[in-house]
Amino acid sequence: MQYSTYIFDSYSVSDTLRFGRAFADALPEQAAVALHGTLGAGKTLLVQGMASELDIDPQIVTSPTFVICNEYIGRKTLIHADVYRLNDSDDFLAIGGDEWFQSHAITLIEWAEKIDDCLPLNLYSVSISQCSESARQIVLKSPCEEVTDAVSSTLKAS
């Protein structure tokens, strides 16, 4: 599959929240998103930005590390999972994780690299690298150009 890429430099928490809002607006109602980045990179914060765009109170979006998965219903539904505590794809299948991808929702998976072989082909990915205490580079890869174009134009305009 051909992917298009958009790179965004975030210099603050509010930049990353802004990226999340633009991304949530651009995504279709059903999508699978792998979130990559080291501990504290900003994966959960980005999901809080997405929530606020979808009329979900961002304060109720908390790290799903211990519960594995949370669901939030807004203008689009978010399934927010963190598979850090799972061992591998077998664990993921055992909890029925693959069914999340069938639901009418945007499914976001933190530490998705742990379950690589369960991820759908038409996957979006967001990789966050820590450049300094407050700066991050966010790399979005999308299976369709419309989404990267929409995110890019929203962020340029804001």
Ligand X SMILES: Nc1ncnc2c1ncn2[C@@H]1O[C@H](COP(=O)(O)OP(=O)(O)OP(=O)(O)O)[C@@H](O)[C@H]1O
- Whether the CB-CB separation of 125 and 34 falls below 8 Å is answered with yes
Residue 134 within binding range of ligand X, rule CB under 6 A: yes
In the bound complex, what is the minimum distance in angstroms from residue 10's beta carbon to Mg ion? 16
- Whether the CB-CB separation of 127 and 112 falls below 8 Å is answered with no
# chain residues binding ligand X, by CB under 6 A: 19
The bridge status of strand 4-10 relative to strand 136-142 is antiparallel
Residue 45 within binding range of ligand X, rule CB under 6 A: yes
What is the per-residue binding string for ligand X in 15-34, x denoting contact by CB under 6 A? xx------------------
The interface partner of residue 39, options being Mg ion, ligand X, none and the CB cut-off 5 to 8 Å by kind, is ligand X
- Token pair recorded at residue 123: 């996957």
- Token pair recorded at residue 78: 């978010």
Q: 148 to each of 9, 52, 57, 121, how far by Cα in Å? A: 15, 20, 25, 17
Report the Cα 16 to chain-centroid distance in Å: 12
In the bound complex, what is the minimum distance in angstroms from residue 132's beta carbon to ligand X? 8
Tokens 């539904």 belong to 77
According to CB under 6 A, which residues from 67 to 106 bind ligand X?
A: none
What is the per-residue binding string for Mg ion in 55-84, x denoting contact by CB under 5 A? --------x---------------------
Nearer to ligand X, 62 or 89 (CB): 62
CA distance 74 to 54: 5
Task: Collapse the DSSP code of 148 into the 3-class scheme (helix H, G, I; strand E, B; otherwise coil) and give the result.
Answer: helix
Residue 109 within binding range of ligand X, rule CB under 6 A: no
Binding residues for Mg ion, rule: CB under 5 A, are 43-44, 63
Binding residues for ligand X, rule: CB under 6 A, are 10, 12-13, 15-16, 37, 39-45, 63, 65, 110, 134-136
